Structure 1
Amino acid sequence: MILDKLNDTINGENNSLRDFCLHVKENIEEIGHINISQLAELCFMSKGQVSKCVRQLGYADFAEFKKECVEYMESLTRKKPIFDPRKDLGANIDSITKEYTQCLWFTINKMDLGILNALCREIRLCRRLYVYGHGDTRGNCYDIQRELKYQGISVMILDEKLSEDPLFQAGDLLVVLSTNGQLFHFEKRRVRKLKAMPVRKWLVTCDPSLDFSEHQFCVPVKNRTYNEYILSYVINLLIMTLQITP
């Protein structure tokens, strides 16, 4: 996601690229409405410097960079706030805690533990685990990579744009995360590329209508509002199960 790239650069660099990312992050809602000359003026740079920064962030050109900024802004409109602005903070906390707890118990009671165990066994036995997430699930990928490192499991995160072709080997495993199937609805080209990859695949999702691979773990959910949080909970269960999976 564009915001992840901006934050990584802002936190890790101390040069003109960092300054460029700061300007973009602060004005990202405007990027879709301006050209490269206007962005250069906004960032106190030349057009050539902007093009160089865009390439350093992994984009082929300004048009591709601009498109991802627009997609990021559009994704924000698909996220609805959970808190009710008509209630005070205490009432909101009380309300969502009750609703979220009900959703958790629904998922726990309906979840197929046999499938969860099967996925854990495949992860434990694979040569290398590849994970892919788009948008909200990108953070889940980093959680998996960080936690499984301590268990001696090699984890590689596929770049979000799938611009690089991994060199899969026998015994590798690819796990794709998609909370509500937005990846499948808005990024069909990427889905086709994922499907074509010569590797054993699993899909973990809250959307039972998706048809991606032979092996899928569909997380049962009660209220779509909390799906993002429920999927994160299930990912944590997966990580904890792997801690005791021989």
Structure 2
Amino acid sequence: MYSANPMGSVGERLLSYIDTSMQRDNNYQIAVRMLENFDSLKDMSISQIADMCFVSKASISRFCRFLGYESFKEMRDALGIDYPISYDYSQRFFRNLTADPRAAFLAYAKEAQQNIAETISEENLAELPKIAYAIHDCRRVAFFSHHFLWDTGRYLQNKLFSMGKVMELYLDRSSQLACAQSLQPEDMAIICSVGGSYPIRHVDVCNSIRDSKCSILAITQNPSNPYWNQAAFVMRCGVSNANDTGKYGALAAIDLVVQQYLLQYGGDAFPSAFDPAR
């Protein structure tokens, strides 16, 4: 059974690199050419890909390792794994979308709104001051997730940084594992996993987090996962991930953390808000 080192598909890795690269060097050009010819990659040899990208086979091998794969073969094996959009949307949803797009959109919005409303629960609100305090006072804070939820981590990272707190965030599994292995009891790990599958898919990362004895904040719709028993905080981010609507609850939970942290530690950014003359 294939066990991918990087989070997500080869396509996601290539897109993430293109989106975040600061240099348009050889690696950037290789990524662009691979994306432009993505449907053909799984049937191409390393020599053919090298010719397509106008580089050497050694350059392709190095680029594969740069993406987080141990070899070209491992990357090509990963290309054989299908990630159809039907994983995100049910056949029933597509039938409804085809029959009546407006009704399907409204039903989708209702489910997303329900997840957001469930996230803003009394239980979550009661925990927020303690969560913000834990983030503020820990030595290091690191975010662990994959796919879209990794992007919510980027959002949290930027917001915390604007309020003086640096949060670590790594895209590939090997870097997440190295970060987890370096955590200490005075640190904090935030694990965002709507379905609660992250501890199952990335056992070594989560075991390292557990062994570090650091504080854990879990953001999930599945609080019954036994791994969360060791979490200091569990924020439930809605009740349904049907048709990929769970992401709205996850983002709502992240926003609650941001706003609570702002309330407790970001007041210096709004001096006029406390000026009686205004």
Query: TM-score range, shorter-chain basis?
Result: 0.7 to 0.9
Distance (whole Å) between structure 2 residues aligned to residue 191 and residue 61 of structure 1: 25
Paired position in structure 1 for 2:271: none
Larger Rg: 1 or 2?
2
- Are 1:23 and 2:18 an aligned pair? no
| Structure 1: distance between partners of 2:110 and 2:262 | 30
Q: Aligned pair in 2 of structure 1 residues 180, 211: CA closer, same or farther (>3 Å)?
A: same
| 1:204 aligns to 2:219 (yes or no) | yes
Equivalent residue in structure 2 for 1:219, among 236, 241, 244: 236
Residue of structure 1 equivalent to 2:149: 137
Does 1:78 find its partner at 2:71? no
Q: Is the 8 A contact 1:133 1:160 kept in 2?
A: no
Match of 2:252 in 1: 233
Q: Which TM-score applies when normalising by structure 1? A: 0.82
Distance 2:238 2:216 in 1: 23
Report the alpha carbon displacement of residue 132 of structure 1 after superposing the two structures with TM. Answer: 1.1
- Higher RCO structure, 1 or 2 (CA under 8 Å, sep 6+): 2
Equivalent-residue separation in structure 1 for 2:84 and 2:224 (angstroms): 21
Q: Percent identity?
A: 20
CA–CA separation in structure 2 for the residues paired with 1:144 and 1:36? 39
1:96 and 2:121 matched: no
What residue ranges of structure 1 are gaps of 5+ in the alignment? none
Structure 1 counterpart of 2:268: none
1:187 aligned to which of 202, 205, 224: 202
For structure 2, the 5+ residue unaligned runs are: 1-6, 266-278
Conserved in 2, the CA contact under 8 Å of 1:17 and 1:53?
Answer: yes
Give the Å deviation of 1:29.
Answer: 4.7
TM-score, normalised to structure 2, is: 0.74
Report the residue type matching 2:183 in the other structure.
F
The farther-off stretch of 39-48 and 205-214 is 39-48
Structure ranking higher in helix proportion: 2
Paired residue for 1:106?
118
